[in-house]
A = this chain, B = another copy of it.
Amino acid sequence: MVKKDVTSDKPERTAEKLLRVAARLFRQHGYAATSTQQLATELGLQKGSLYHHIEKKEELLYLICMDALMHIQLAVEKAIEPISDPGDRLRTLIRAHTCTALDDQDKFATALLDNRELSDENKSTIMELHDYYEGVVQEVIRACQEAGIVRRDTAPRQLTLFLLSMMNFTAFWYRPDGKLTPDDLADQFIQQFLQGAGVPLCDDAPHP
């Protein structure tokens, strides 16, 4: 359905702006509740003009989901690739995921909320990517279990879901104008995921 080449940089400017604005509106009101009219108005265009840039409205949603998923997957894989220590890989993954997700919050939130409104065909494509990425996360966690730094009494898949839940929900409540930077938040996620919120029973005896 989509054959845009992203090789060239400059001539695609309008298309990028379109995606950015669409992501903001979709996140705010939902995909189906956002009309091509609203979209055009925000861009200072007539609604007919949109169809010079896209084939149909759904293409916007598809591109947004694609963009968000690819972005986060590539960022995370690139970040953890040169690292071998399992614990460092996990911490790096959490930081890269958090920062990338918040860097493009509208697209990421839309991808999470509105992917159910894609056509069956597009939905499968997106779901495949999603599952692949989940597998990457799960593998990092599994390696931590093997290395003895993450508990083995819970299935890696469960732990993956817990971690992704915590990080992904952030896209819904995080306000960039608040006090916490994405990096601060990443620190908190790392601590919360690994140590939990409970006070350690025995940290009065620090190890050498």
Contact = CB atoms under 8 A, between A and B. Distances in A.
A133 interface: no
Contacts of A79: none
A161 interface: yes
Given A196-B195, A199-B149, A202-B207, A116 B166 contact: no
A206 to B, nearest CB: 9
Interface residues of A, number: 45
A117 interface: yes
Query: In terms of DSSP, what is the predominant structure of the interface of chain A?
Result: helix
A29 interface: yes
A33 B195 CA distance: 42
Copies of this protein in the assembly total 2
A132 interface: no
A185 to B, nearest CB: 9
A43 interface: no
Interface stretch (A48-56, A66-74, A150-158): A150-158
Nearest to A204: B202
A196 B194 contact: yes
Interface in A128-158: 141, 148-151, 154, 158
A117 B30 contact: yes
A201 interface: yes
B193 A154 contact: no
A88 to B, nearest CB: 14
23 contacts: A29-B116, A30-B30, A31-B32, A31-B33, A32-B32, A32-B33, A113-B113, A141-B197, A150-B199, A154-B188, A161-B169, A161-B170, A162-B166, A162-B192, A162-B197, A165-B166, A165-B169, A195-B198, A200-B202, A201-B207, A202-B203, A202-B207, A205-B205
